[in-house]
Amino acid sequence: MPELPEVETIRRVLEPQLAGRTITGLRLNRPDIISHPSAEAFQSSVAGARIKGMDRRGKFLFIRLEGKSILLHLRMTGRLLLVPSAFPEEKHTHIVFGLDNGAELRFVDPRRFGRFWLVRDGEEDTESGVHKLGPEPFDPALSAAYLQASCGQRKKAVKECLLDQSIVAGIGNIYADEILFVSKIRPERPANSLSKAEWKRLAENIPERLRYFIEKNAVTPEEYLAGNGTEYRNTPFLQVYGHEGEPCPVCGAPLCRTVIAGRGSIFCPRCQKEKRR
């Protein structure tokens, strides 16, 4: 699933190309991916609208129109591609937005979990789940005190807390492992076992790691399209995720795998020591 750095990469690549364009038409190949309002209302409201820009909140993307916004969540396999209209259409292309310059914005999703919403300015959004999100990783409100107050009494694994979008918006399985590694905290540690110093390290490393991977992810529009919307540059910079059994980049010990809340987690047993009893 694309996480915050990947979603931010998509926004940075597409926004300069979409801002100022007008949506001339909309083809819905799978109307069921429109969650709100009805597919018919979505289509009629979007056709003819001018795109002002794009924003991101957690893993959600916003396409800002005049007086309203399209919200979308890519979920597991969703991709957004901006292509010439003559570009061959992929299988599992569910929505096609025609633009006034002859290009098309296409949403491709083999697993069909991605969803779209349309929210008018001033309308309360209770449908998409955005209102339930916690602070952004770059929000000054994301302090050690906030994390400890939100999680410090919980018996859940600290990684499970980081994956809770109501606590911090945008962190997924990949970057939770990376954040915990540089913070020297084992992912299965109960949140209520962390010290003030460890909460401080997390509060510092959450924004630092995500900014780092956003920077490493930078691609040009040409590279993005050539990679079919999945070409991200930060994979070689992952220190633990996807490296089970390989030497730790810090101490050389073999990296281990455990399962937390149904998700694989990679850690270093030497750098991320268990809390002494």
Q: What is the pLDDT of residues 96-124, one digit of tens each?
A: 999 999 999 999 999 999 999 999 999 99
Catalytic status, residue 263: yes
Note the pLDDT of residue 247.
98
**β pairing state of 34-36 and 115-120:** parallel
| Model pLDDT for residues 251-261, shown as the tens digit of each residue | 999 999 999 98
| Model pLDDT for residues 210-243, shown as the tens digit of each residue | 999 999 999 999 999 988 887 667 788 999 999 9
DSSP string, 207-271: HHHHHHHHHHT---HHHHHHTTT---S-GGG-SSTT-TTSBPTTT-PBPEEEEETTEEEEE-TTT
Percent pLDDT > 90 in the chain is: 92
Residues 139, 58, 219, 27, CA torsion sign: negative
Question: Would you state the torsion angle of the CA atoms of residues 158, 161, 167, 173, taken in this order, to the nearest 10 degrees?
Answer: 100
Catalytic status, residue 2: yes
Catalytic-labelled residue, pool 12, 263, 269, 270: 263
- What is the pLDDT confidence band of residue 274, given thresholds at 50, 70 and 90? confident
Distance, CA of 210 to CA of 205 (rounded, Å): 8
| Model pLDDT for residues 171-215, shown as the tens digit of each residue | 999 999 999 999 999 999 999 999 999 999 999 999 999 999 999
Contact 141, 169 (CB under 8 A): no
- What is the pLDDT confidence band of residue 273, given thresholds at 50, 70 and 90? confident
Catalytic-labelled residue, pool 3, 136, 178, 188: 3
| Model pLDDT for residues 42-65, shown as the tens digit of each residue | 999 999 999 999 999 999 999 999
Distance, CA of 118 to CA of 194 (rounded, Å): 41
Number of Cβ atoms within 10 Å of the Cβ of 55: 14
Catalytic status, residue 59: yes
Catalytic-labelled residue, pool 2, 5, 137, 187: 2
pLDDT > 90? residue 277:
no
Average pLDDT, the chain: 95
pLDDT > 80? residue 1:
no
Q: What is the mean pLDDT of residues 75-95?
A: 94
Note the pLDDT of residue 276.
52
Q: What is the mean pLDDT of residues 73-93?
A: 94
Catalytic-labelled residue, pool 59, 106, 189, 201: 59
